[in-house]
Amino acid sequence: MMKRTIALTAMLMTATTGCPPAQPMPPPQPSPTPPPSMSSRSRFLMNAQGGAVAGNSAAAKAPFQLQVDFYQLTVPFGTVSRNEQFWKRVDEQVVDVATYDLLFKNGIRVGQAPIAEWDYFRAIMEQHPTFTKANTLVGAEGKPVELPMRKEVPWENIFYFNADNEPVGRTYEQSENFVTLTFQSAPRKPDTMRLALCPVVRATRRRLEYSTMNNELGEVKYVAPERIYDLNLRTDVPVGNFLIVAPSQQANWPTSIGSAFFVNDGAAEKMETVLLIVPKSVHLEEATPPRATPK
């Protein structure tokens, strides 16, 4: 009887005091920086997905900068351009149909893939000799960046179809081919980056100059960049995805844009260049100023 009385008294005390039930333990927050023991692949996946700030409300309110990691892969010709198994894992509907068709028939193929598929694409690359150039761009608003594709070209003929499906052809001497890249936050799309790429040819031009008496003064050389705006690419890439720009099957034509920018002559075989562009949103921690110590 005494035990029942004690138990009943304990229950009444608990009900009157209103002790709250035990709260579940909150999940651990991701570390701002990957630990040293983490593999390079895990560190890449974490950075590319913006995992350093996912789920951290304080970090989400902090100021942030745009960041882009881009990789230029040089692989044997056909490794990507002729590999349909590769493109089955890629979402090629990231641009409108007219832009996709225009780029494809001019020798350029584009698409997006999730970072989770990175192992699959890396396995394909590891089956072939691969040369990789990597770089990182950081800025509140991205400034134009030049990605060199072919250097010191003695002369070249480039023919392409413009936006009106009309053929355009030019001959360039002592030229350099590169792709201009710009990036900025996509309007009204959180954690999404707007990327724009445009092929540019910087070639040497010649011009004859004459005096006021119509006497020939001689030939003047100057360098002038020519931007091929008909084949520019603009697309929104969310954090957690990466953009793929590579030659299409039409890059077989030596005078196409895809061949001029994404195909190079190697020592023993043709090589092709593949661009992988990974957007990230890097949140900045505001440092609290130290308190003044009283004297």
DSSP secondary structure of 121-183 = HHHHHHTS--EEEEEEEEESSPPPEEEEEEEEEEEEEEEEE-TTS-EEEEEEEEEEEEEEEEE
What pLDDT score was predicted for residue 198? 95
Question: CA-to-CA distance for 15 and 24, rounded, in angstroms?
Answer: 21
What is the CA 206 to chain-centroid distance, rounded? 36
Q: Using the Cα atoms of residue 132, residue 178, residue 172 and residue 219 in order, give the sign of their dihedral.
A: negative
Question: CA-to-CA distance for 173 and 160, rounded, in angstroms?
Answer: 18
The reported pTM is 0.70
Q: What is the pLDDT of residues 252-291, one digit of tens each?
A: 999 999 999 999 988 889 999 999 999 887 655 544 555 6
What percent of the chain is modeled with pLDDT above 90?
39
What's the angle, vertex CA 82, arms to CA 76 and CA 88, rounded to 5?
120
Question: CA-to-CA distance for 273 and 261, rounded, in angstroms?
Answer: 8
Q: At how many degrees (to 10) do helices 118-126 and 40-48 cross? A: 130
According to DSSP, the residues that pair with 171 across neighbouring strands are 157
Question: CA-to-CA distance for 56 and 157, rounded, in angstroms?
Answer: 53
Question: CA-to-CA distance for 106 and 279, rounded, in angstroms?
Answer: 26
What pLDDT score was predicted for residue 250? 93
Q: Using the Cα atoms of residue 189, residue 193, residue 198 and residue 199 in order, give the sign of their dihedral.
A: negative
Output DSSP code: residue 22.
Answer: P
Question: CA-to-CA distance for 108 and 101, rounded, in angstroms?
Answer: 9
Q: What count of other Cβ atoms lies within 10 Å of the Cβ of residue 239?
A: 21
What number is the average pLDDT over the span 104-124? 90
- Of 4-18, 134-148, 208-222, the range with the lowest mean pLDDT is 4-18
Question: CA-to-CA distance for 285 and 163, rounded, in angstroms?
Answer: 45
Q: Of the candidates 77, 254, 263, 230, which has an alpha carbon nearest to the alpha carbon of residue 157?
A: 254
241 band by pLDDT with thresholds 50, 70 and 90: very high
210 band by pLDDT with thresholds 50, 70 and 90: low
Give residue limits of the domains in the chain: 40-50+61-283
Sequence length of the chain is 295
Q: Terminus-to-terminus CA distance in the chain, angstroms?
A: 69
Question: CA-to-CA distance for 80 and 101, rounded, in angstroms?
Answer: 18
Q: What is the CA radius of gyration of the chain?
A: 28
Which secondary-structure segment (H or E) carries 277? Answer: strand 270-283
What pLDDT score was predicted for residue 294? 61
> Which two structure tokens, joined as six digits, stand for 282?
């890097």
Question: CA-to-CA distance for 244 and 275, rounded, in angstroms?
Answer: 6
